[in-house]
Amino acid sequence: MKKKITIGMLGLGTVGGGTLAILQKNKAELQRKLGVDLEVKRIAVRDVKKPRSVAVDPVLLTDNQDAVLLDPEIDIVVEVMGGTEAARSAIKKALENGKYVVTANKDLMAQHGPELLAVAEACGKNIYYEASVGGGIPLIRPLKYCLGANRIKKVMGIINGTTNYILTQMSREGKEFDEALAEAQARGFAEADPTNDISGRDAAYKLNILASLAFSTVVQMEDIFLEGIDNVKLRDIRYARELGYAVKLLAVGEETEAGLVLRVHPALIPLDHPLAAVENEFNAIFLEGDAVGEVMFYGRGAGAMPTGSAVCADIMDAARAIKNEQQNGVLETTFTRKKVVPMQDQHSRFYLRLKAEDEPGVFAKLAHAFGAARVSLDMIIQKRSDAKTAEIVLVTHDVSEGAFAKALASLREMPAIRIINSILRVIE
């Protein structure tokens, strides 16, 4: 039986640094739990001269990925470099060279997970990806194992730390978007290029992974309705709070009779909803199973040490598989596609902020446009006005996305409406 399991890493940035720090700090603890020693033998990076956040012997560093992928002594390859194409070919090569793989890469697992898991199965190995969703929060393993006896009906939550940090800082501290984003980047929560965080795409990748496991299906990115926080303004966050809501970027996956509902968008949620209290880089996810009922997972969804914690747990699982000479089951390769409900057939309440001519009869015209599209209004409030324009905030009752789009189109035709500033969904 093996006494030592050897690790090669691809990447030593935020997550790689956290992973290595944990492997060093808790080395004896991990050895005691596993009954084998874990040794990091090589680490491929782009720039071997770059200063590192963690103490590392410079001889371990290489800018040649093959020094990791083709080394016959390396048992586990830990991919924490990010990106899609380079990571995809590196992981394939690692598997084909007899290595187990651990990755934190949601972009990759959402877009190429089924293909890579099939390669892993064919090679008699496995890919572990707990860190790809929810940072340090266990989600993949609970879905695959602990809740495996349930039919999962719903997955809903906050699954992007960067946007939650930004929205919290805007709401709590009155910070501007750009300042809050710069802080999230400095703290290591954001992606190397934060575009995917802001656009909601990072959360959509994670929803893809969660929904695939929850509903035993193959999700494609086009199946997920996606809207980011680019257009959420401090003013809307303040008005939402006055109305009794917090603004959060939510990911929702649900298996309904009509098919799968898959969406990521900012939403107003009541201040007394548990998700409203989830702040900064914390994530929280509700899962609803037919046997267990509702389960909530909460913790740090991004950052070096929380994500490193999940990567190290996967390294431990891979080490156990190697030690016990088991493949550990690659269950996800049996999934098939399920029908997805088109967004226009889904239902929401809407919050709308607009500017209109400050003249008699504007409210009546607005109410008429909504009425004609069979959209009923819950609230309509004039927030402030200057000499010529009035700022109006309104909230609809539950409507189909299609009916709301129709009402919006007729609003855009009204000469009295100067501009529609914000449209956000409301989830009760």
Nearer to ligand HSE, 31 or 199 (CB): 199
- Using rule CB under 6 A, residue 314 touches ligand HSE: no
Closest listed residue to residue 104, CA positions, set 192, 178, 180: 192
Nearer to ligand HSE, 81 or 321 (CB): 81
Given 6, 103, 105, 162, the residue binding ligand HSE (CB under 6 A): 162
Q: State the Cα–Cα distance between residues 178 and 182, nearest whole angstrom.
A: 6
Give the residue nearest to ligand NAP (CB): 13
What six digits make up the tokens of 393?
A: 């905030």
Given 191, 254, 255, 314, the residue binding ligand HSE (CB under 6 A): 191
Residue 266 binds: one of ligand NAP, ligand HSE, none (C-beta under 5 to 8 A by kind): none
Residue 171 near residue 246 (C-beta atoms within 8 A): yes
What six digits make up the tokens of 95?
A: 């598997």
Residue 89 near residue 64 (C-beta atoms within 8 A): no
Given 79, 197, 317, 391, the residue binding ligand HSE (CB under 6 A): 197
How many residues of this chain interact with ligand HSE, rule: CB under 6 A? 11
- Using rule CB under 6 A, residue 130 touches ligand HSE: no
- For the bound state, the minimum distance from the C-beta of residue 113 to ligand HSE, rounded and expressed in Å, comes to 15
Q: State the Cα–Cα distance between residues 331 and 365, nearest whole angstrom.
A: 56
Residue 160 binds: one of ligand NAP, ligand HSE, none (C-beta under 5 to 8 A by kind): ligand HSE
- For the bound state, the minimum distance from the C-beta of residue 163 to ligand HSE, rounded and expressed in Å, comes to 7
Residue 13 binds: one of ligand NAP, ligand HSE, none (C-beta under 5 to 8 A by kind): ligand NAP
Q: State the Cα–Cα distance between residues 418 and 411, nearest whole angstrom.
A: 10
Q: State the Cα–Cα distance between residues 82 and 105, nearest whole angstrom.
A: 6
The catalytic position among 92, 99, 125, 206 is 206
Q: How many CB atoms lie within 10 A of CB 289?
A: 18
Residue 197 binds: one of ligand HSE, ligand NAP, none (C-beta under 5 to 8 A by kind): ligand HSE
Q: How many CB atoms lie within 10 A of CB 81?
A: 23
Q: State the Cα–Cα distance between residues 246 and 168, nearest whole angstrom.
A: 9
- For the bound state, the minimum distance from the C-beta of residue 227 to ligand NAP, rounded and expressed in Å, comes to 20
Contacts with ligand NAP by CB under 6 A lie at: 10-16, 44-47, 50, 65, 80-82, 86, 104-106, 131, 135, 188-189, 191-192, 302-303, 307
Active site residue 339: no
Q: State the Cα–Cα distance between residues 341 and 347, nearest whole angstrom.
A: 11
Given 11, 113, 136, 161, the residue binding ligand HSE (CB under 6 A): 161
Q: In b/e form, how buried is each residue of 359-370, taking b as 16+ CB within 10 angstroms?
A: eeebbebbeebb
Q: State the Cα–Cα distance between residues 84 and 276, nearest whole angstrom.
A: 33
Three-state DSSP class for 265? strand
Nearer to ligand NAP, 57 or 413 (CB): 57
- For the bound state, the minimum distance from the C-beta of residue 188 to ligand NAP, rounded and expressed in Å, comes to 5
Residue 46 binds: one of ligand HSE, ligand NAP, none (C-beta under 5 to 8 A by kind): ligand NAP
Crossing angle (nearest 10°) for helices 401-413 and 362-372: 140
Hunting for tokens 């874990």 — which residue is that?
38
Nearer to ligand HSE, 113 or 161 (CB): 161
Residue 177 near residue 166 (C-beta atoms within 8 A): yes
Q: Which positions are annotated as active-site residues? A: 206
Binding footprint of ligand HSE on the chain (CB under 6 A)? 135, 160-162, 189-191, 197, 202, 301-302
